[in-house]
Amino acid sequence: MEGGESVWCRSEDKVFEIGLVKYGEGTPNRWAKIADLLPQKTAMDVELHYRVLLSDVADIEAGLIQLPSYSVAADKKIKERRKPASQWSAEEHKRFLEGLNKFGKGDWKSIARQCVKTRSATQVASHAQKYFIHLEKDVKNKKRSSIYDVSLD
């Protein structure tokens, strides 16, 4: 906190940024209008925060503030965590249908944890969405078979 500037939380910063866009340069009473979006801040607080922001940007552009260096290894780990999508097997779909019968539509977490243990709740929900869309389609117009055709019978 410099020169009497008030403390700002991340959510206030976000509202401040939105206000800057909404009330661009040249807007009459700009700081008061942005302050109206921030109940805990005055127009003076908002204007000071903007001036500090401009100062920080100028310091960064002048090379006075060193930016953090992000590790290439960390980026690689994030990419490695994402696994490519894989098709559902007939066995997984049968277990999905059993879970649907047991837990009902919408309890994807229970279906994932207790029936389709190879998939996350998000994957089960996505599969369910596609499955229900498939059920709504006219089966006679179908040109090829689908995993969704597998039933418990």
Residue with tokens 């097997």: 89
pLDDT score, position 77: 65
Per-residue model confidence (pLDDT) at position 78? 65
Q: What pLDDT band is residue 151 in, cutting at 50, 70 and 90?
A: confident
Averaged pLDDT, 49-68: 87
pTM: 0.44
* For the chain, domain boundaries: 9-60, 88-141
Sign of the alpha-carbon torsion through 40, 46, 51, 54: positive
Count Cβ neighbours within 10 Å for each residue of 132-145 and write b for 16 or more, e otherwise: eeeeeeeeeeeeee
Class for the domain spanning 9-60: mainly alpha
Q: Residue 2 above 70 pLDDT? A: no
**Amino acid 95: pLDDT:** 94
Q: What's the token pair of residue 9?
A: 């939380």
pLDDT > 70? residue 8: yes
Please check the confidence at residue 42 and state whether its pLDDT lies above 90: yes
Q: Are 72 and 100 spatial neighbours (Cβ–Cβ below 8 Å)?
A: no
**What homologous superfamily is domain 88-141 in, according to CATH?**
Homeodomain-like (1.10.10.60)
Per-residue model confidence as pLDDT tens digits over 103-149: 998 899 999 999 999 999 999 999 999 888 887 775 556 666 677 67
Instruction: Give me the percent of the chain exceeding a pLDDT of 90.
Output: 54
pLDDT, tens digit (0-9, with 9 covering 90-100), for 15-30: 999 999 999 999 999 9
Supply the mean pLDDT for the chain: 84
Q: Do domains 9-60 and 88-141 have the same CATH topology?
A: yes
The answer to whether 127 and 96 are in contact (CB under 8 A) is yes
pLDDT score for 96: 93
